[in-house]
Chain A
Amino acid sequence: MRGHPGHWAFLVHRVSGVLLALFLPGHFVALGAALEGEAAMDAFLAWTDRPLVKFGEWGIVLLLSAHLAGGLRILALEFLPWREGHKTMAALAAGVSLAVSLAFALALTR
């Protein structure tokens, strides 16, 4: 059954989870550059200072906040007393993740 809020919440959660899993090893390797000293890290940071990479960073923050909000939805659904507003919960998850990523985008461009 497609196209209802629960299905969208599931799809967003799964796709964002997979993409984050793919991103993480690269993220760790990049931070590991610190082992080779400040200069190596600054060289990497200079590489990230271009519009396309910035856009990618924003995308990853959006994925992370979406996965966080979707995960909180599942935890609430499984562990808190049952409530009817599950659609509200999915909408809230979408709203919170968008707000966080927008805050990041604003900070990014300052």
Chain B
Amino acid sequence: MTQLRVRVWRGGADGGFQPFAVPRQASQTVLDAVTYIQRVLDPTLAYRFACRVGMCGSCAMTVNGVARWTCRTHVDKVARDGRLEIAPLRSLPVVRDLVTEMRGFFDKWSRAEGVFRGARSRRDAFERVAPRSAQRLNVEAGIECIGCAVCYASCDVVAQNPEYLGPAALNRAWTLLNDVRDVAQAERLRAVAGDAGCHACHSQMGCTERCPKGIAPTASIAGLKRAAMRALLAGEL
């Protein structure tokens, strides 16, 4: 049986890498390797996972320098000469080992008005939304986000500007901006425009390159820029 040589980040921000030897297996995922370390080699290793099937968005880590969802990343695909280097996500405070503090990340979703605000109550009829309408298709393109923060960790603007709302929060705001039932669009646009919002985006597309769900936050952010322009020209911003 061949061994996988895995270096894993231990400790907080000023920690370091610890080497482990993990048995190589067929169809092994990066999360499998981390789990083996925690169950067999060192039970003190801290990491996060839940669903193991790419739905919950909790197991993202930096694997050989690239942010990835570890449960759906095969070792075959990313190991270099049988070596893996696994670290916590960039741009988020490290709690311990592979666990990052996600609070700031999700706080930014709230700051971006990433919450649905409707006007109907349970006594009203359902709103009719045409499935093939342009707005519904915009929602479709961005709605499958699982909140894994891979885009956030892959964004150079986030790395440089801690105030920047980031690709995930802005993508969420864009899906809501295209929700015809939502009644807080003016507030939402004010929340996402400006140099902490969509106008800070450099269109480097690190987010779009890395999103495991194939979402293009760059496209969503471009949509916000156009919407902000229209609102400004209409005197509504």
**A interface residues, Cβ below 8 angstroms from B:** 1-2, 4, 6-7, 9-10, 74, 77-79, 82, 86
Contacts and interface: CB of A to CB of B under 8 A. Distances in A.
B218 A77 contact: yes
B219 A6 contact: no
Nearest to B67: A1
Interface residues of B, number: 20
A77 B131 CA distance: 25
18 contacts: A1-B66, A1-B67, A1-B154, A1-B156, A1-B204, A1-B206, A1-B209, A1-B210, A4-B206, A6-B208, A10-B202, A10-B203, A78-B203, A79-B226, A82-B216, A86-B205, A86-B208, A86-B218
A77 B155 contact: no
A66 B156 CA distance: 22
Contacts of B216: 82
Task: Name the 4 nearest CB pairs between A and B, nearest first.
Answer: A6-B205, A1-B206, A82-B219, A78-B222
Nearest to B154: A1
A4 B226 contact: no
B225 interface: yes
Contacts of A78: 203, 222, 225-226
Interface of B: 66-67, 141, 154-156, 202-206, 208-210, 216, 218-219, 222, 225-226
A1 B67 CA distance: 9
B206 A7 contact: yes
Contacts of A82: 141, 216, 219, 222
A3 B216 CA distance: 19
B7 to A, nearest CB: 20
A82 B203 CA distance: 13
Contacts of A86: 205, 208, 218
Contacts of A9: 204
A1 B206 CA distance: 6
A6 B209 contact: yes
A2 B40 CA distance: 35
A6 B204 contact: yes
A2 B206 CA distance: 8
A1 B155 contact: yes
A4 B209 CA distance: 8
